[in-house]
Amino acid sequence: MKLQRLLSLVRQAVDDYDLIDDQDHIAVGVSGGKDSLALLYALHELQRFYPKHFTLHAFTVDLGFGIQDFSGIKAFCDGFQVPLTIIPTEIGKIVFETRHESNPCSLCAKMRKGALNLEAKTAGCNKIAYAHHKDDIIETMLLSLMYEGRFYTFPPKIFLDRTELTVIRPLMYVSEADVIGFKNKYQLPVCKNPCPADGHTKREYVKNLTKQLNKENPGIKERLFHAVVSGNIDGWALPGQHSPAAGQDLVGQDLPKASSVTKEEF
C-alpha cells in the first residue's frame, strides 16, 4: 500500500467522524507493532496538509518483561520529531505471575489503557489515537457476538468521562492486509511482541476464522464491516445521518452482493 492511499483512507475516517479538531494534542499509543507504527506515520504526514492544526505525542507502555528493545521505536519517533514517552509498568508480572490469569488479554488491555490515559492526561493531551484497523473492528464485533451475545464493537470516536480524553481510531477504514503492505513497502521497524499469550488468544482464533470464511466466501469481511457501520451500534452513525446508503460501504466501494446469504448463515 502506498502512503497516498493510506492517507486517503485515514483522512476520510477523520472527516467522516470529526476525529480531529483544531489545536488537538493527540497521544498516539505506539506498541511497536505494524499497526501503531503505520498510524503514527499516517498522522505525521497528515499534519503537513490537514487544514486543522494538531500536535502528536507518542506513548509506549513497557509491560515490564525486561526483554523488549525500544530503540527502534525511539529512532522512528525521532525521525518524525515526535516526542516519545516510555511508560514503565509491571503489568506483565501482575497479569502472569501475581494474578495467574487464564485469559490475560482483558486485564492487560485495561491496565495498559489506564497507564496510557494517565500519562497522556499529564502531558496535556486531549485525545488518544489507537491503531485499530478494519479487521480489528470486524473481529471485535464477532467476539462480542460469539462470547457475549451482543452486537458491539468499539466506536470510531468516544469521550471518556473519567479522564476527559477522547479516543479516536483513524485506521478504521484500513484493512490489515493494507497495513502489512505499507509496513513492507516503507520498512517500518516492527518490534517483536514480548507477551507470552501472543498468538494464543480468542482474538487470534476469530482472526483465523474470519480469514477462512472470507476465503470460502469472498466479500464476507466487507459485508461484516457494512453490518457494523449500518447497524445500531452506539457511536457508528455518521454525523447528520443514521446510516450509509444500502449496498455502499463507507470507503466508497460497492459491497459484494449477498442475496444468497441469509441472516442465519451469518
Output DSSP code: residue 193.
P
For the chain, what is the domain count? 1
Distance CA 79, CA 76 (A): 5
39 occurs within a structural domain: yes
37 occurs within a structural domain: yes
For cell 507470552, name the residue: 196
Q: Domain containing 103 — which CATH number?
A: 3.40.50.620
pTM: 0.85
207 occurs within a structural domain: no
Confidence (pLDDT) at 240: 66
Range of the domain at 86: 3-197
Tens-digit pLDDT profile for residues 181-211: 999 999 999 987 776 666 567 888 999 999 9
243 occurs within a structural domain: no
255 occurs within a structural domain: no
* Percent of the chain clearing pLDDT 90 (strictly above): 66
Q: Is the dihedral of CA 131, 5, 248, 208 positive or negative?
A: negative
Identity of the amino acid at 127: K
119 occurs within a structural domain: yes
- Is the CB of residue 45 less than 8 Å from the CB of residue 15? no
For residue 104, what are the CA distances in angstroms to 7, 68, 198?
34, 19, 10
